[in-house]
A and B are shown apart, each in its own frame.
Chain A
Amino acid sequence: MSRPFKEVLNSGEFVITSEIGPPKGTNIDKMLHHIEILKDTVHGMNVTDNQSSVMRLSSVAVCHIIKDHGGEPILQMTCRDRNRMALQSDLLSAYVLGVRNVLCLTGDHISLGDHKGSKQVFDLDSVQLIAAVRNLEQGQDLGGNKLDGGVEFCVGATATPEADNMDSQLLKFRKKIKVGAEFFQTQAVYDMDMLKKFMEHAQQSNTKVLAGILVLVSAGMAKYLNANVAGVTVPQELIDEMAGAEKGKALQKGMEIAARQIKQIKEENICPGVHIMAIGKEEIVPEILQMAGV
């Protein structure tokens, strides 16, 4: 059985988390395979919540499955699809199913996904969602009603170290800490200098920031990220490095880059941990960690 994530977070060990993407449908074979690979490799498995606004199996259900298989789930909750009633209700549900960690996010806009005509919610924002979790911990809901049995979560949030609007992002970062975020998992970071700069701000507060490592699989992916994903900038030298990989070896190159960066983050003590995103290729995570020597 894995240790509680909160315990690892406060242990001073280098923290490693990764991600499980629920399937679109009920066939969970591949996902179970990934859970089996990751459960003894990482300290926590984030379960994405209708990631990229694409409808999938729910993150609460998958967190429960991870728990059943002896892993430590981190429930991702976005504000896009549920109002404050549904969010709180799902937090209670997750708690009774044994989930003890939650990552609170805004969520992508509905127009980026596969139900473009759907009505989006955003009744709460990510700051208010973190506060709502802490409020439930006080034994009451947002309507001011008493709970019969409360919750206790390790609460995380996200940050974007490569954002071009750093001032306004830091405003929100401060608010998230103020309302009770204990840890952060960042958007993908490729420029270690930018990460260091962000950490200069972050270290002023006593919070744990896990650097987001998104494994590149091709030079095309890097260019796509630069053109289409806000707050992610892959430096030209990394694009060139990916493009220079031998045919059929691009993924290997992406793994090498990821491992190199994890190693640097650990050795230079830039961040107290990393969050590795392999997006459907979770079987490569153990090898990356081995290459990084962690």
Chain B
Amino acid sequence: MIVAEQKPIQEIKGMMADYQKVLIVGCGTCVTVCMAGGEKEVGIIASCLRMALQIDGKKPELMEDCIQRQCEWEFVDTLKDKVDGVDAILSSACGVGVQALAERFPNKPVYPALNTTFMGMPKEHGLWIENCRGCGNCGLGRFGGICPIARCSKGLLNGPCGGSQNGKCEVSKEMDCGWQLIYGRLKTLNQLDQLEEILLPKDWSTDRDKGQRKMFRGDVYYEQTV
């Protein structure tokens, strides 16, 4: 899932300071699960923002809503009537949701209430970790199901660097060395010989490096008329 965290309320307040009527929109999918921008968090953001603005003598009208997914038009379109009546939108979705609202409502300013952090999962309750960088060419089969791009801090492909010690990364003693995890897992699987292959420089053209990525599937495509 996409993991996100709420921006400091002072930063949100700074973005909202010039607006009287604001619609705060949550998202019911990833950011609800990671407890950053769902229905409950929209309520908390609204209360905090109201208090923060009142300290400055302002009395904003803050409306709250939460849709199932801000990254799909069918849900985004249900907001139309509410959006018409406000000065600005504060989205507590990931960056995809914020941009979907900006595209759907070209005449309304849209602001992010969250920082989108990474693609990952809750490892424990209250602890999320990044596991995928979305590089566009998955090599997990070579590495025992542990990604060196996402989990080695340098994204190395041919083995650990000299900064690995006690299974931890040189960046932080709290951070596992991705390469030690890969090595340990392939050892358990009796597949260490798999690592002897010299991997050539990665083709990053499937990553962000060719600009905005898109995916087209003719078998399911049909032109939408709005």
Contact = CB atoms under 8 A, between A and B. Distances in A.
Nearest to A129: B201
Contact of A131 (B154, B177, B187, B198): B198
Question: Contact size class for A?
Answer: 35 or more
A79 B162 CA distance: 13
Interface stretch (B4-12, B50-58, B165-173): B165-173
A121 to B, nearest CB: 9
Contacts of A179: 198
Interface in B143-177: 153-167, 169-171, 177
Of A112, A165, A187, chain B has the most CB atoms within 10 Å of the CB of: A165
Main secondary structure of the interface of B (DSSP, over half): loop
B159 A164 contact: no
Contacts of A164: 165-166
B179 interface: yes
A231 B183 contact: no
Contacts of B223: none
B198 A106 contact: no
Interface in A156-199: 158, 160, 163-165, 167-169, 171-172, 174-175, 178-179, 187
Contacts of B199: 127-128
B195 interface: yes
Given A123-B204, A164-B166, A109 B179 contact: no
Interface in B54-71: none
A164 B167 CA distance: 9
Interface in A222-250: 230-231
Given A128-B200, A142-B201, A172 B163 contact: no
Interface hub of B154, B167, B169, B192 (most chain A Cβ within 10 A): B154
Contacts of A252: none
B29 interface: no
Interface in A102-121: 106-109, 111-112, 120
Contact of A123 (B170, B183, B201): B201
A217 interface: no
B196 A174 contact: yes
A167 B155 CA distance: 20
A109 B198 contact: no
Interface of A: 79-80, 84, 106-109, 111-112, 120, 122-128, 131-132, 142, 158, 160, 163-165, 167-169, 171-172, 174-175, 178-179, 187, 230-231
Q: Which 4 A-B pairs have the closest CB atoms?
A: A172-B159, A230-B165, A127-B158, A106-B161
Interface of B: 153-167, 169-171, 177, 179-180, 183, 187, 192, 195-196, 198-202, 204
